[in-house]
Amino acid sequence: MGDAFIRHIELLGYEKRFFPSQHYVYMFLVKWNDLSEKLVYRRFTEIYEFHKALKEMFPIESGDINVENRIIPHLPAPKWFDGQRSTQNRQGTLTEYCYTLVNLPHKISRSLHVVNFFKVRPDDMNPVTDSQIKKPEVFLLPKDAKKNLTDITGPIVLQTYRAIADYEKSSTSEMALKAGDMVDVVEKSESGWWFCQLKNKRGWVPAAYLEPMDGPDESEEQEPNYEGEQYIVQKSYTAVEEDELTLKEGDTIEVIHKLLDGWWVIRKGETTGYYPSMYLQKAGKVNTSLKNELRNRSAPPRRSTIRNVKSIHKQSRKQISQETYRRNSKKYIQSRSKMKENFQNKANVISKSQ
């Protein structure tokens, strides 16, 4: 593989830190060409210094020679004192700046200056902390932030989950867990991979290995929808467990139950079974680069395959059997067929009476 370069930079939000003194840092999820994803923290003052140096390196593209030739985005200078309001209000500008930066000509976007600035530093992995000082406050940018950049969450308390078993990471973007570890969840992805932090460590963790502190049931998990939503298979998968389905790329299926561990119950004809959600795309949606990335990642482990589970809850998670899924699916398919038949009969009666 050639030199490293950045494919995408996503602003997640910012942190208000209290050590060594109160200050703010922006949280960026940097996606690299090797499909790794790294979380880095940068103060706005250093982002602005990076920006000034970038302009000096590319005077034509920065508009120094002719303003009409400028393609490097603008960035306002830091205020004499950057408080929380200015930190919050600047998020929209930084989101647009990062998007434009990554899409500049390769001589700029893939330059060492850009690559080195967003590389993980030791203090990204192990932020300077003091146990006597209170924990940083995290302010996350909403998913639809581009629609409404003023609608910022926070301060928020990240949800804490507990690891139910040991997990050995299989890539550098993941995080290893020991049974009983308490993690803060930053982002929950439908793929079944959640972005978590544990003390000074951060990385992707299979949702299957996590349980909420207040009970075994996930209130966020949707109820089954036997009407089904149509999806297209984006990556072939061969069943490993008896209750999984083997499908080929391009197959059309119906999703009847979306589960948080990233293994959805789907229907193909009258057959139901589990399939990795990360290999599916809703029918009618244009294929995206994100989906292409996920095709190269492995599916997360399923809850049912985890050994030596140590839950703190006496009552186990509610689970629906495949027989229940199949029975209800058949009922729905039969009722739908009857409705079509009745509609056709009525249509025939009307046509004959005319």
In a domain, 167, yes or no: yes
| Domain membership flag for residue 149 | no
Residue 91, both tokens: 């998020």
Q: What is the residue-wise DSSP string for 148-181?
A: -TT----SB-PEEEEESS-B--SSTTB--B-TT-
Read off the pLDDT of each residue in 229-245 and give the average, rounded to a whole number. 93
CATH of the domain at 58: 3.30.1520.10
Model pLDDT for residues 288-314, shown as the tens digit of each residue: 544 555 555 688 999 888 988 888 887
Residues 247-299: tens digit of each pLDDT:
999 999 999 999 988 999 999 988 999 999 999 998 887 655 445 555 556 88
Clarify whether residues 92 and 122 are in a common domain: yes
Q: Report which DSSP code applies to 109.
A: H
Number of domains in the chain: 3
Whether residues 15 and 104 fall in one domain: yes
Q: Which residues contact 277 (CB under 8 A, 6 or more apart)?
A: 190, 191, 192, 255, 258, 262, 263, 264
Strand partners, 265: 257, 274
User: Within a domain: residue 328?
Assistant: no
Tokens of 348: 């025939």
Q: How confident is the model at residue 149 (pLDDT cuts 50, 70, 90)?
A: very low
Beta bridge partners of 231: 253, 282
The CATH number given to whatever domain includes residue 273 is: 2.30.30.40
DSSP state of 278: G
The dihedrals phi and psi of 230, each to the nearest 5 degrees, come to: -80, 130
Same domain, 27 and 129: yes
What is the span of the domain harbouring residue 185?
A: 159-212
Q: Is 103 helix (H, G, I), strand (E, B) or coil?
A: coil
**234 and 208 part of one domain:** no
